[in-house]
Structure 1
Amino acid sequence: MTEPSSNRDPGRRMDSPRAAALAGVLFAVLFSAALILMRTSLPEQLSSAEDWLDDDDDGAATRLTIGLSLVPFAGIAFLWFMGVVRDRFKETEDQLFSSVFIGSGLLFLAMVFVSAAIAGGIVATVPFLTDEDSRAEVATFGRAVMVQVTNIYALRMAGVLLISLGTMWLRTGVMPRWLAFVTYAVAIVLLFVTSLSLWVTLVFPAWVFGVSILILIQNYRRQARAVH
């Protein structure tokens, strides 16, 4: 007779902590590289008289295009990072904070994609404008919208993500308590300090990188104890 399906071997479970660490490291590297390339292609101050996409000047359009090409892959890695970090909670997951974690993470990623799409539209459109004043005005407006979407809205959602995740870590003990407090501190920076400097954005991928490395270390130690 055929063995009932309920008694079948469910199979080997995926090694989610390692996958989370690798995805997080990949996101941190790709997102940081994209941010640096895009930030160095943008002028520090808004100016309607500045054509900052003039490739003959310092290659701003080239850097911006390369940075934009990295954003989708960084987004894919971030989705995997979110999924497997959540998986670590297992049955201890708090549905309220988990919902906020997922929602804020998806909003962050969506707004990053919107900002990148605006930049891509500028790069594709500006070369067709023959009037120099029109080129500068379109580029300046697009740059302002990009910064608003990223620094004012997307990073605030990243801060909410960190607050919900840090709270779940404190309640469940899945990660060290000190990491939860560091996460709160990074969240405060993202919520209130990012408007002061474009480079503060790099604190978020740095946090993801640190969490990913810690998860990778924990997974290695767990495997080492299982062997002995």
Structure 2
Amino acid sequence: MHEKGPGQQVLETPRAAGLAGVLFALLLAAVIVLVRTGLPAGADTSGPQAFTDSAQRDALRAALTLVPFAGILFLWFVGAVRAHVGAVEDKFLATVLLGSGLVFTAMLFGAAAAAGAVIAVQHPTGALPPPAAWDFGRHLAYSLMTEYAMRMAAVFASSMSVIGHRLGVLPRWLTVVGFLAALVLLFLSSNAPWAELAFPAWSLLLSLHILGVRRRDRPRPAAAV
């Protein structure tokens, strides 16, 4: 906590908020890999027979366990990003950045709920889900994740890159990577498998940059006289 003016104090952003971005990126990447492994997509997996392997069900359950923590860490990550950027005069971009982050979190939770429904409809336990329920749950989960969540992630990455470029708080290479990641998420996430990994990869780079800047700017203890 540091002084801002007479009678005013400002809470300093905790270093844990920056670390949250790193953990979020790793957890989201793990969730994507586990969902892709446990809930296959594509014409070659058009029926519930693809879900007979217990390892696939375990992978999906593990992903669903990680999703809430990934969402919470992402909110901390958004807070760290906004603290790193500071005051933004362009309220439009600031609102788009925050709004896209919140909608991404909601879509991520919705995709997890849809994937969880595929497991829940197994009656009795271990039996194949009904084909209609399988198709509906699988397509809904992938639609929410690749069609909507990742496009909101593209908006988040692009708006952050624009803000970082205008304010000079991000290096040029990171803004370029952000724009490239946004293009991949916007146009390829629903067609190219594993393209959604571009978002956790960019988030990891951004988090490491924020942590590096905070470490350099951290006040050093005064030398002993």
Same fold per superposition (TM over 0.5): yes
Contact kept? 1:34, 1:71, Cα under 8 Å: yes
140-149 or 110-119: which moved more?
140-149
Please, which runs of 5 or more residues in structure 2 have no aligned partner? none
Query: Which residue of the partner structure matches residue 114 of structure 1?
Result: 110
- Residue 28 (structure 2) aligned to one of 3, 26, 31: 31
Matches within 5 A, 1:56-71: 57-71=53-67
The structure with the largest helix share of the pair is: 1
Q: CA deviation at 1:180?
A: 1.3
CA distance in 1, matches of 2:198, 2:133: 30
Query: Which residue of the partner structure matches residue 133 of structure 2?
Result: 138
Query: Which residue of the partner structure matches residue 10 of structure 1?
Result: 9
Q: Establish whether residue 172 from structure 1 lines up as the match of residue 167 from structure 2.
A: yes
CA distance in 1, matches of 2:8, 2:155: 40
- Residue 52 (structure 1) aligned to one of 50, 53, 60: 50
Q: Establish whether residue 41 from structure 1 lines up as the match of residue 38 from structure 2.
A: yes
Matches within 5 A, 1:119-198: 119-128=115-124, 135-198=130-193
- Residue 91 (structure 2) aligned to one of 95, 111, 127: 95
Larger Rg: 1
Query: Which residue of the partner structure matches residue 222 of structure 1?
Result: 217
Root-mean-square deviation over aligned CA pairs: 2.4
Q: CA deviation at 1:93?
A: 4.3
Q: CA deviation at 1:117?
A: 0.4
Contact kept? 1:48, 1:137, Cα under 8 Å: no
Give CA-to-partner distance per residue, 1:170-228, whole Å, 9 cap, x none.
11111212211221111011101112223111110111111111111111122277868
Secondary structure of the corresponding residue to residue 130 of structure 2: helix
Q: Taking structure 1 as reference, are residues 225 and 128 closer, same or farther at Cα in structure 2, changes over 3 Å only?
A: same
186-195 or 120-129: which moved more?
120-129
Q: TM-score, normalised by structure 2?
A: 0.87
Corresponding letter in the other structure for 1:148: S
- Residue 104 (structure 1) aligned to one of 100, 104, 114: 100
CA distance in 2, matches of 1:124, 1:10: 50
Please, which runs of 5 or more residues in structure 1 have no aligned partner? 1-5
Q: CA deviation at 1:168?
A: 0.8
Higher normalized contact order (CA 8 Å, seq sep 6+, divided by chain length)? 1
